[in-house]
Amino acid sequence: MDVLMNENIKKYVSNKAIKRITQMAQKIRNNIVECINENMRMEEEKNQETTTPPEMTNIPISEGNKTEEQESPKETEEERVNREFGEKMRSLEIELDKIKRKYIAFKKVFEEHGEDVEYLMKQEKAVKECENMIKNGIEVNEMNMKVLMDLDGFVGLNEENRKKRKDLVIKIQEELDEIEGMVKKLRVTKMKVEKRVEEIEKQKQTMEEEKRKEEEEKRKEEEEKKKAEEEKEKAIEELKKKKEEEMKRKSGIGKQQNQRYVRPKKTQSEKEEESKEEEEKAIELEKKSNSERIREMIDWSKMKMNVKFQVSDRGNNVIVYGTIAGLKDEDIDVNITKNGYLKVSGVKKPNDNEMNMIIRTIKQRMGNISDEDIAKIAMKYCNGRFGTFSQLYEIPEDIDIKNITVNYDEGILQVNLPRKQQTRRSMYPRFGMNDT
């Protein structure tokens, strides 16, 4: 980067090229950091596997599914994540093909007519034509962003799947930047078209203004005649009033006392209190960022997430765990109900980056709209990805309720239910055999 800042280099390389090179270098750096972090996570998972028992058996939640869990082998968390990732990639094939076709069609139209003002002016609705092209580009970017959000929740992938996800994310990001650049150029084209349309409308308006001026001149002449007549009438009335006043003075009639009605002064205490409250609210809103204000407008409790929790028996402990990325400690609530059930619940809200991406997508599609409208649209957009989750589990009788602990790390929420000292058993239970 220091080399690019050299004055001699700047003479031969444009600022735009320097900016592009800087962006590419930043992307390469981010990719390297991501690879290092993934390798560190894999090493930690391997170390954890060596310290934990190799076999894990599910305990039954109810009598109805007891035999099924004993007969079917339990897949590991890594296997489950990679299986779900493979299913997601297969389900995205149709969507990615659809995005590709829309992207090719949009790019072709842009290259042919995206900056051709003369061609667009020949169309019946030139401005509408530009808006449709912009809308198509935004639609492609919106579909790409949806794919990125679908891929964002996978944690703990193997090396092959990490590479697939990384390559796809890089490709989509490059396509997002390219389309965003074309959309910006289309907005410039739209401004030029609007300017030409305004010039044509101005020519029409000049003709109409000339007609209006002629009509206004006629109206002015009529108004002047009316004013002259009114002034004559006023002058006659004033003369009459003067004569009447002189007659009254002579006769001593018409002495009147001046009366005044003084209105009471209004107090401003109530208005001042209301204005202070409004100012305090405005100051609080100004302190918060735009994304934070919109996030607080949304009632996340009305949105539901489908989270799958699993139960595992590890001998001295029973573990309830599930994968939920992007939670904070204050968003998690684990307690025991009055009926003696374990309740695992919480709420997932988008972070600043996710919220900014959502707001950016909505504004690209809807234009400049109020924060309240953005919040309403965001509720529909985020449904299923964010919101509340809640699960109930029956606690076995031999669990030490006082020593239940909760742990959340690397996107995995884990509740540890230790058994009482008297009832602790072997880590490898003998299914189908008597304990005596």
Q: Given this model, what pLDDT does residue 50 score?
A: 57
Residue, of 411 and 259, whose pLDDT is higher = 411
Q: Given this model, what pLDDT does residue 89 score?
A: 87
To the nearest whole number, what is the mean pLDDT of the chain? Answer: 78
Q: Given this model, what pLDDT does residue 434 score?
A: 39
> How many Cα atoms occupy the beta-carbon half-sphere of 195 within 13 Å?
8
Average pLDDT over residues 221-227: 86
Q: Given this model, what pLDDT does residue 8 score?
A: 55
Whether 92 shows a pLDDT value over 80: the answer reads: yes
Whether 6 shows a pLDDT value over 80: the answer reads: no
Q: pLDDT tens, 267-296?
A: 677 677 777 777 766 665 555 677 788 888
Whether 432 shows a pLDDT value over 70: the answer reads: no
Q: Given this model, what pLDDT does residue 16 score?
A: 65
Q: Given this model, what pLDDT does residue 67 score?
A: 46
Q: Given this model, what pLDDT does residue 179 score?
A: 92
Whether 15 shows a pLDDT value over 80: the answer reads: no
302-349+386-423: CATH topology is Immunoglobulin-like (2.60.40)
Instruction: Please state the three-class secondary structure of the chain as a single string.
Output: CCCCCCHHHHHHCCHHHHHHHHHHHHHHHHHHHHHHHHHHHHHHHHHHHHHCCCCCECCCCCHHHHHHHHHCCCCCHHHHHHHHHHHHHHHHHHHHHHHHHHHHHHHHHHHHHCCCHHHHHCCCCHHHHHHHHHHHHHHHHHHHHHHHHHHHCCCCCCHHHHHHHHHHHHHHHHHHHHHHHHHHHHHHHHHHHHHHHHHHHHHHHHHHHHHHHHHHHHHHHHHHHHHHHHHHHHHHHHHHHHHHHHHHHHHCCCCCCCCCCCCCCCCCHHHHHHHHHHHHHHHHHHHCCHHHHHHHHCCHHHCECCCCEEEEECCCEEEEEEECCCCCHHHEEEEECCCCEEEEEEEECCCHHHHHHHHHHHHHHHCCCCHHHHHHHHHHHHECCEEEEEEEEECCCCECHHHCEEEEECCEEEEEEEECHHHCCCCCCCCCCCCC
Distance CA 190, CA 126 (A): 8
Residue, of 239 and 136, whose pLDDT is higher = 136
* Cα distances (angstroms) measured from residue 158 to each of 40, 48, 165: 12, 16, 11
Whether 188 shows a pLDDT value over 80: the answer reads: yes
Buried b (16+ CB within 10 A) or exposed e, 72-103: eeeeebeeebbeebeeebeebeeebeebeebb
Average pLDDT over residues 23-49: 71
- Give bridge partners of residue 310 from the DSSP assignment: 321
Q: pLDDT tens, 296-312?
A: 888 888 888 888 888 99
Q: Given this model, what pLDDT does residue 253 score?
A: 44
Tokens found for residue 369 = 């709209």
Whether 3 shows a pLDDT value over 70: the answer reads: no
Q: How does residue 429 score in pLDDT terms, banded at 50, 70 and 90?
A: very low
Average pLDDT over residues 393-406: 88
Q: pLDDT tens, 40-81?
A: 777 777 766 555 444 444 444 444 444 444 455 677 888 888
